[in-house]
Structure 1
Amino acid sequence: MSAHRLGRPGAASAAVGRTAVVVRAADPISRAGAEAQLRRDPALELVEEAAAGPGTVSVLLAEQADAAVVATLRKLVRGAEQRVVLVVERMRESELLEAVECGVAAILWRREATAERLGRAVQAAARGDGDLPADLLGRLITQVGRLQRSVQGMPGGVPAGLTEREADVLRLVAEGWDTGEIAARLSYSERTVKNVLHGLTTRLQLRNRAHAVAHAVREGYI
């Protein structure tokens, strides 16, 4: 079989040490283009949709995050237990927050989805790091801050608190720093940063880093 063909159903999802990734798009031209970009990264192994299992990274191409796309996100994240990189042309603030809360791991603008950028987003999703463009992260923080102000004074339970260390880590995540950079800034090991984020997301039942940032802003911690 040619090296450029996708993995077959029933075959191993990816070669040892490589990340399994599947491209999902409504039209074959967009799918072929994304697959061509991803094949440039030797750390990735393209697989067919039927062969994609839990832990596979799904690259979902769409014009915008409309209701149908959000439904697909929920199905992939919660049902198939896959990590999703959403590549979109445009996105409203309400759609951004909904996509994050559905569990999307990374979001890219189609105009910025070069082979290097797309590969980096897939690897970040596979690690559980998440990846949002700076302008989208700023919009997310603005949107969550607006929601937070709108519910002030409403009855409800007391939010679970963050430790000082968790808040420090999340502030740097919100500023776009990756795990290694956060570790260097706070004089922690990378393992410590990962453990802080894992403990936080597990305790508060958050889906990924972007969701953790949204929660922290919503509750006024950052």
Structure 2
Amino acid sequence: MKVQVEAADSTLRATVATKLRLVGIKIVERPFQVPVVVAAAETVGRALRSCPQPYLTGDYRLLVLADDFDPAEVRSALRAGVRAMLSTTSAPEKLASAVWSTNQGESRIPREILLKLLRDRAGGGPDSAPNPSPLTPRQTAVLALMAEGYPNVAIAKNLSCSEHTVKNVIYEMMTRLQVNNRAHAVARAIRAGHI
């Protein structure tokens, strides 16, 4: 696996690159050579500003590392195509898992970031939707593991079922919640109090 690392400063870039190398991920020095870009800075907004504009076109899969997750900046990042967000202090293994998920096109946003985002939107707004139908116990269990960032294989192992079953449960749950992606499903379920 190869990634491009963009950072607000060279020290942070070196730290992120070292963590990635520790878990076998190669760093590409030339820009625009790989689909996954890791952008790091103190804030989400600054991490995005550290990326050259072509990375923000939707052709690349973005993973943002930051220390501060301002809800407005998180929303802007999601609109810009960011697939995953983690703290800059995340362990190398967690970072590697997020890189792999991002490469697969999955979204990975830690629960605490989603909760902060939802608290900021508690008054409702354009993203509000009708309360979703009650979820089955299996859908709730899958959703809780999705909220923790588990990929389908790990969810299947955790629930002692096949990956195919997990995919079916996710499809049914996303239809029931009227959402288009995993991050939105988790956000909607948290807002409705299902997890």
Fold equivalence (TM over 0.5): yes
- Going from structure 1 to structure 2, the CA distance change for 1:129 and 1:29 (only over 3 Å counts) comes to same
2:45 maps to 1:66: yes
TM-score, normalisation: structure 2: 0.70
Query: What is the aligned residue count?
Result: 190
Asked whether the 8 Å contact 1:167–1:221 carries over to 2, the reply is no
Residue pairs, 1:1-222, within 5 angstroms: 19-42=1-24, 44-53=25-34, 56-66=35-45, 69=48, 76=55, 79-110=57-88, 112-144=89-121, 146-148=122-124, 150=125, 169-174=142-147, 176=148, 178=150, 179-184=152-157, 188-194=161-167, 197=170, 200=174, 206=180, 208-216=181-189, 220=192, 222=194
Residue by residue over 1:20-57, the C-alpha shift from the partner in whole angstroms, topping out at 9 and shown as x without a partner, is: 21101132222222212211222x2321343424xx21
* Uncovered stretches (5+) of structure 1, i.e. residues with no partner: 1-18
Counterpart amino acid of 1:90? D
Asked whether the 8 Å contact 1:70–1:98 carries over to 2, the reply is no
Residue by residue over 1:133-191, the C-alpha shift from the partner in whole angstroms, topping out at 9 and shown as x without a partner, is: 342232234345x153x569x9xx989989867666435423x1613453356554223
Counterpart amino acid of 2:4? V
Residue by residue over 1:109-145, the C-alpha shift from the partner in whole angstroms, topping out at 9 and shown as x without a partner, is: 12x233333222212222334333342232234345x
State the identity as a percent.
30
Q: CA RMSD in A?
A: 4.0
TM-score, normalisation: structure 1: 0.63
- Going from structure 1 to structure 2, the CA distance change for 1:186 and 1:118 (only over 3 Å counts) comes to closer
Alignment partner, residue 3 of structure 1: none
